[in-house]
Structure 1
Amino acid sequence: MTQRRLPGRRTALAAVLPAAVLLVPTAAHAQSPAVPPAPAPAPPAPVVTKLTLVTEKARGGEVLKGEKWRALAVTDQFVAGTKVRVTFTAKGKRSSKTVTLKQQKDGEKGYVRLNVPGKVSKSSRVVVRAAIPKNQPIATTVAKTKVVLQATPNVSAGERGLAVRMLQEMLADKAYVIGKKGVYDARTQRAVLAFRKVARMSATSEANSAVFRALRAGKGRFKVKFPSHGRHVEGDIERRVLVLVDKGKAIRIYHTSPGKPSTPTIRGSFHVYMKDPGTNAKGMYKSSYFIRGYAVHGYPEVPAGYSASHGCFRVPMSDAASIYAFMTIGMPVDTY
């Protein structure tokens, strides 16, 4: 018996299968597609700014050995986390330190400050450098190099050099009359002598560390006793100095020798009444008389440690001409 195929069965299956296939997800669609990782943000570009190096308390790059000074490095912009390397080099030996930038009070600039290391503080020449190294928030930069010269605070007669220049600058600042710049000559020695007497130190021309320290400390500045007398001369008998005054300030201070105890210098306020440009029979050179026979004059012998005249103010011969030119007829002369 021949089996009979039912009409439409295959057609029905064919119609159902595509729909069934659509209901079963494929393996490819069963999982979510992989999401690529987000790229890492690029690091910020380093800030470009200026780095400046200053040597504080070095007075124009010159100090005395043993004095404390320091390096100050400043950036025009403050960026947190930035490090600065400061290097001190002396006699081939190097001392470096890397420190983190600090913010100034105004909030705009950054800075680091370092004292000079002890092991280089006694050298004659110190080279200071400052730089921002690589891989910092501020771009790599180098400050202008600084050189600090350190002088021994002690000079001898005839000596030349840095210490002498520093000594002369400090003396001249206080109105003491110095000689040739950079040389510890006779006139500069007399300036030291006058300074020591005003500062009430021993009456010598020794320019040792005590003199340098006293000058640094501001000692030896002469206080005018009669500032209202205008352009005048003051003779300090006790401290044995002669002072030329203008506008209430000492403008020149000289070593002098007033009257000895047996012939003391008269004290008071007087005026120049006569001038003698030559040398008289008593050896008085370029004399400016202020009362009777008392005068300010040059003389070959002007002792350092005691009074020796007959009542006048003796000054060294090499100082007499400039003092004589300052003292005019009628000028006040105050002695005390």
Structure 2
Amino acid sequence: MRLTFAAAAPVTVLLTLLPGPARANPPVSAAAKDELLPALTRTVRYKDYNQDVQILQEHLRRWGYSPGPVNGYYGDETRAAVWTFQKVNGLRPATTVGERTRNALFAPVRIRPLVRRAPGRRVEIDLRRQLLVVWKRHRPVLVTHVSTGANTFYCDHGLCGFARTPVGNFRVTRRIKGWHTGRLGAMYYPAFFRGGVALHGSPSVPSRRASHGCVRIPMHLAKKVYRYAKVGTPVYVRKPAKRLNGRGGGGR
């Protein structure tokens, strides 16, 4: 059941990620043409359940992020969207949405490609910022925070190795619907792009590098990435020398 508040009602907007000017300005629906979303003026925190969280969710959806149901509850899906938004805007990922993040909601930076002039649909993975972006016809159609190889030695499930996500140009070679149990654990809707390394959903996608080498995706976006990442889809994995966009610095 949708949470209803006595104060400002949510505004209907068209959800999109635009590559346009540096300060994104997405189109809105006819019903919301002359309306503005209410400002988020107070700090909100993980597990909060109130009107301010609903306002946050409306802003995230307006800019094309995926906070889950707009219901006023700050759960895991909203947390993933907050981390994604913070990473794109050069802010340190934090579950608390403070002043810096609130300010960025009104003038977010646009997402820039890692690989310029790359044709058609592709998946780009930024190892430095731990972001995955799906591009289609020079437009970002999906963006999410991810967790890639931890860059450390491991011994798990009787296997030992170095947890590294490979850098380079790849293509999706095979896909598996639903859950798949690999040699190092379970993967949800995996799309393999180099040997046993895959893009896949996981219940555990921390804000840091933590995988054996795969690219972990939040569960609520795993199917969407799977649908875009068809066999043959290019997968570009990069570790940029510097931030491509964002305000720089830490904070919330």
Do these two structures clear the TM 0.5 threshold for a shared fold by scoring above it? yes
Whether the 8 Å CA contact 2:37–2:59 is kept in 1: the answer is no
Secondary structure in structure 2 of the residue aligned to 1:213: helix
Task: Find out whether 1:174 has 2:77 as its counterpart.
Answer: no
Q: Write the distance in 1 (CA, Å) between the matches of 2:118 and 2:95.
A: 32
The answer as to whether partners of 2:172 and 2:191 remain within 8 angstroms in 1 is: yes
For the Cα contact (< 8 Å) 2:80–2:218, is it kept in 1?
A: no
Percentage of matched positions with identical amino acids: 31
TM-score by length of 2: 0.68
Match of 2:91 in 1: 201
The SS at the match of 2:217 is strand
Q: Aligned-pair RMSD on alpha carbons?
A: 2.0
1:54-86 CA-to-partner distances (Å, cap 9, x unmatched) read xxxxx725442xxxxxxxxxxxxxxxxxxxxxx
Q: What SS is found at the alignment partner of 1:301? A: coil
Q: Which is strand-richer, 1 or 2?
A: 1
Three-state SS of the structure 2 residue aligned to 1:216 is coil
Q: Which has the higher contact order (CA 8 A, sep 6+)?
A: 2
In structure 2, which of residues 59, 81, 90 is the aligned counterpart of residue 191 of structure 1?
81
- The answer on 1:322 being equivalent to 2:207 is no
Partner of 2:16: none
Tell me the residue number matched to 1:301: 204
Check if 1:273 corresponds to 2:248: no
List structure 1 runs of 4+ shifted beyond 3 angstroms: 163-166
**2:156 maps to 1:255:** no
The answer to whether the 8 Å contact 1:232/1:331 transfers is yes
TM-score (norm 1): 0.52
Gaps of 5+ in 1: 1-58, 65-150
Distance in 2 (alpha carbons) for counterparts of 1:328 and 1:300: 22
- Partners in 2 of 1:297 and 1:180 — Cα distance? 22
3-state DSSP class of the match of 1:284? strand
Alignment partner, residue 210 of structure 1: 100
**Counterpart residue number, 1:223:** 112
SS in 2 for 1:333: strand
The number of residue pairs the alignment matches comes to: 189
Tell me the secondary structure at the aligned position of residue 234 of structure 1: strand
> 1:285 — aligned with what?
188
